[in-house]
Amino acid sequence: MNAATTPTPRLAIKGMRKVYPAVIANDGVDLTVMPGEIHAVVGENGAGKSTLMKAIYGVIRPDEGEIRWEGEHVNITSPGQARELGIGMVFQHFSLFETLTVAQNVALALPGKFDLAGLSRRIIEVSERYGLPIDPRRLVHALSVGERQRVEIIRCLLQNPRLLILDEPTSVLTPQAVRKLFETLRKLASEGCSILYISHKLDEIQELCHTATILRAGKVTGTCSPAQETPKTLARMMIGEDLPVIHHGEPAEGGEVRLRIDGLTQATGDPFGVNLRDIHLEVRSGEIVGIAGVSGNGQQELLKAISGEETLHDRRAVQMCGVPVGRLNPARRRSLGMCFVPEERLGRGAVPRLSLTENILLTAYRKGMLVSGMIRFGAARRFAEECIRRFDVKCGGPGSEAKSLSGGNLQKFIVGREIMQDPKLLVLAQPTWGVDVGAASFIRRSLLDLRNAGTAVLVISEELDELFEICDRLVVIAKGTLSPTKVTSETGVEEIGIWMSGMWPDSVVAGDTTHVA
Amino acid sequence: MWLKFEQRTEPSPLMSYLSPAIAVGLMLVSGMALFYVLGRNPFAGFKIFFLNPVKDWYGVSELLLKATPLMLCAVGLSVGFRANVWNIGAEGQFLMGALAAGGVALHFPDSTSPFLLPGMVLAGALGGMAWAAIPAWLRTRFNANEILTSLMLVYVAQLVVSWLVHGPWKDPEGFNFPQTQMFQAKALLPVLVEGNRVNVALFIGMGALLIAWVFMNRSFLGFQMKVAGQAENAGRYAGFSSKRTIWLGMLAGGALAGIAGMSEVAGPVGQITEHISPGYGFAAMIVAFVGRLTPIGIFFSSLLLALLYVGGEQVQQHMQLPSAISNVFQGMLLFFLLASDVFINFRLRRLARRQ
């Protein structure tokens, strides 16, 4: 880049405005991205980042404002047109066809004829180069969230974009894989590709991005060079106040064992699933245990074995509060005091077309909502109102349908519903996936409160920061086996990161894992 | 010109209730066009088909008589349909219920017990449930598709009826007609008004609607079935038993279809013949869907389908049209309903010329 002549920006947006019936999503937003620049867009959920990106990608039409692409005034009316211009986007909510394979999904996004064999080779090439391992023949419905995101990233990279938009891309990667991705992104940038990087992980933004534009409530509150800021000043620009600090007291000593997994071995019925091998784990009252791991290494299978959605032959393989529950269904396990927050919110954790009140009934019915088999809707509605209030769920009220809530708000609702049942054992998968920083911090604080009150908490997450922040002990899952447990303060991101590739001492899976990132 | 279906972001809840009305409207228009094509005056046809049957109290009572078994079958089916349990075999369960109830009647030809009729109702319910239990068991044990098994069992049931009335249960004094003896007076459902045929089964049907409403909207079991129908994974997550859902859905349909069968043989027919049902079990599926799987809706849609039956008979008599005309109208109604329902979730879009 020559400093003497002013280069034409790759993308320049002036006065973008988009109004939805209930909310002004973008209010006079300006954004300039230079060629080869990695530009962060930072802001809480609902700050207007997604609306801005959708306008750039042609998914929605702005009400006002102009977009210049390499100096030319453009009117982007469809994602197809955006792709023709050279804009690629990796969505936070995946746009993949579940019944098609990875290669078929990628083929659909590419212009020209289908050549699945050739495409599969290119997918493998790109996936190896960027540390995003994926088998092109697998069906998307059998992929975990993390794996789906890899498909999205690869799909964009195959189109050689000149502007790549990434929406929270690192939340499902190991630290080593994040570093690899950063290398990739830096390489892409040095080749002249511009990158719009949406994230709430301030340390990553500081490490990676040249420039950051900060959004709050639809308006730009600042543009800065992240390297010259501290996470604290960035956070203040983002949420307008300082983030509450989480105090992590000492775990209670010698609490009773609430969950014991004792030699759990389970072959999966899913051709693309992961077999669980000889898993041992104990979670005691008053502690939070975290399971780290790259998605698709047996997390889903382990969670189903714990929740009871998949029952076991060996009734002693899973024990709750001393009771062997291997053959009990989820409802029976819940009556022993288990609560569970699954990874998928709509369709599993909540029924999309039912009201929030009815979604409370789904699991919280034991809390005085039934009288001889009949529903007391009043009690359920009061519970829903309380949950909405305590967990600050933004919605139209307890009568709103679950699917009308944003992902983050629905997550708060589901976590709230499970926490409010005073569980003896709480199991959570990806508790803060897609939730904004303020709410994520609130959820984590609630989990710590619960632990301090004596609940045993098990968290399965792909976000290492989160696990290190709240967990007393950590364990890693790779290829369906569990590593030894580590007290959180006696280990670090580096060690856990290596373990996530299956390479812990005496590991039986080291060497044969394909998930090494 | 290129057309494509595009998913609507917000399906209108109002349209899901208007859709049956639109379907009825389209059925009427097409029906009148059909009369015209057949060389009949469409307005006269409309009058005979839809107005003649309800022009006097006797007509209304006949309408209620025909609506009763439809109502019973449909409300039972809707319990399962709401939970994605697709019992297509209500016709067979209807016949088995009729056989079981008729068997009780024929076994006690001289009984004067006040328990005879309740016993027949119970036998009818059990007969229907037994027949519905077969596909339920096949589904829960072997994961066999209940749509196929329940439908195939309809034909088995028809053959069983045929065998009984040609063989062991044939009336020895019936001049070799394939039918049983007429039931004795104590085994017949009392009529509501002297001179009409509508009987107390109407109250059983109304009671079933009421109980179904409470079950679907107030009971936790009904809630679990609703969850199973809308989001199977959420049901599994919560620990609701999918086997229980299948059993409940199938048995509710079987029991009520069986009672409907009982109400026919112990009502207007008064004996078992080869033709107890003019396809009530199948028409009940249309009733259930036109009624939006809700008890209140089913009440009205069963009257509508009953009107198609009675009206069909009227045009046979007065306009010399074939008896299949009822089925044609039923078919049109279902077709238009399904077509209208598509537009609740999708819109038709004209694509711009391809670039």
Q: For A334-345, how does the pLDDT look when each residue is reduced to its tens digit (9 = 90+)?
A: 999 999 999 888
Of B223, B231, B237, the CB nearest to A352: B231
CB pairs under 8 A between A and B: 62
Structure tokens at A310: 């998949």
Under an 8 A CB cutoff, do B239 and A330 touch? Answer: yes
* 3-state class percentages of chain B: helix first, strand second, coil last, to nearest 5: 70, 5, 25
pLDDT band with cut points at 50, 70 and 90 for residue A129:
confident
Taking an 8 Å cut-off on Cβ atoms, the answer to whether A373 and B230 are in contact is: no
Region A176-190: what's the mean pLDDT? 81
CA-derived radius of gyration, chain B:
22
- Higher-pLDDT residue of A439 and B54 is B54
Are the Cβ atoms of A348 and B234 closer than 8 angstroms? Answer: yes
Task: Tell me how crowded residue A270 is: count the other CB atoms within 10 A of its CB.
Answer: 11
pLDDT of B132 above 90: yes
Tokens of B159: 């053959």
Section B154-160 average pLDDT? 97
pTM of the predicted model as reported, rounded to 2 decimal places: 0.78
**Residue ranges in A250-376 assigned as alpha helix (H):** 299-307, 330-335, 356-364
CA of A425 vs chain B CAs: smallest distance (Å): 16
CB A46 within 8 A of CB A200: no
Distance CA B234, CA A345 (A): 9
A-chain CB neighbours of B221 within 8 Å are 373
> Out of A46-55, A358-367, B245-254, which region has the weakest mean confidence (pLDDT)?
A46-55
**pLDDT at residue A403 in the model:** 85
Which CATH number does B66-320 carry?
Answer: 1.10.3470
Partnered with residue A67 across adjacent β-strands are A13, A74
Partner B contacted by A361 (CB < 8 A): yes
Average pLDDT of A457-483?
Answer: 91
Which residues of B lie closer than 8 Å to A, measured between beta carbons?
Answer: 218-221, 223, 226-227, 230-231, 233-234, 236-241
Q: Residue A345's closest chain B neighbor by CA?
A: B234
Contact (CB, 8 A) for B45 and B35: yes
pLDDT at A513 over 70: no
pLDDT digits (tens, 9 = 90+) for B193-211: 888 899 999 999 999 999 9
> Which range, of B45-54, B256-265, B297-306, averages the lowest pLDDT?
B45-54
For residues A214 and A220, is the Cβ–Cβ distance under 8 A? yes
Would you state the pLDDT for residue A242?
64
Residue A413 contacts B where some CB pair is shorter than 8 Å: no
Contact B22, B292 (CB under 8 A): no
Q: Which residues of B touch A378 (CB under 8 A)?
A: none
Q: Out of A377-391, A395-409, B63-77, B218-232, pick the least confident.
A: A395-409
At residue A145, the pLDDT reads 64
Q: Specify the pLDDT at position B175.
A: 87
Q: How are beta strands A211-216 and A38-42 bridged, if at all?
A: parallel
- pLDDT attached to residue B258: 98
- Residue by residue, DSSP assigns B25-71 as HHHHHHHHHHHHHTTS-HHHHHIIIIIGGGSSHHHHHHHHHHHHHHH
pLDDT mean across residues, chain B: 92
ipTM of the prediction: 0.84
- At position A158, the amino acid (one-letter code) is L
Query: What pLDDT, on a 0 to 100 scale, did the predictor assign at position A217?
Result: 79
DSSP E strand stretches across A122-256: 163-167, 194-198, 211-216, 219-224
pLDDT class for A517, splitting at 50, 70, 90? very low
Query: Residue range A497-508: average pLDDT?
Result: 81
Contact criterion met (CB < 8 Å) for B239 and A361: no
Residue numbers in B near A350 (CB within 8 A): 234
CA distance A311 to A328: 7
For B224, nearest residue in chain A (alpha carbons): A362
Burial A52-66 (b: 16+ CB within 10 A, else e): bbbbbbbbbebeebe
Q: Give Cβ neighbours of residue B162 (< 8 Å, ≥ 6 apart).
A: B178, B274
Structure tokens at A510: 């080291």
**pLDDT above 50: residue A411:** yes
Least confident of A121-130, A423-432, A486-495, B77-86: A121-130
At residue A239 the predicted structure's pLDDT band, cuts being 50, 70 and 90, is confident
Range with the poorest average pLDDT among A258-262, A504-508, B237-241: A504-508
Confidence of residue A244 (pLDDT cuts 50, 70, 90): low
Q: Kindly state the average pLDDT of the residues B227-252.
A: 94
pLDDT at A397 over 50: yes
CB-based contacts of A488, cutoff 8 Å, min separation 6: A290, A467, A468, A471, A472, A473, A474
pLDDT band at B9 (very low <50, low <70, confident <90, very high): low
Residues in a beta bridge with A101: A139
Q: Looking at residue B234, what is its pLDDT?
A: 96
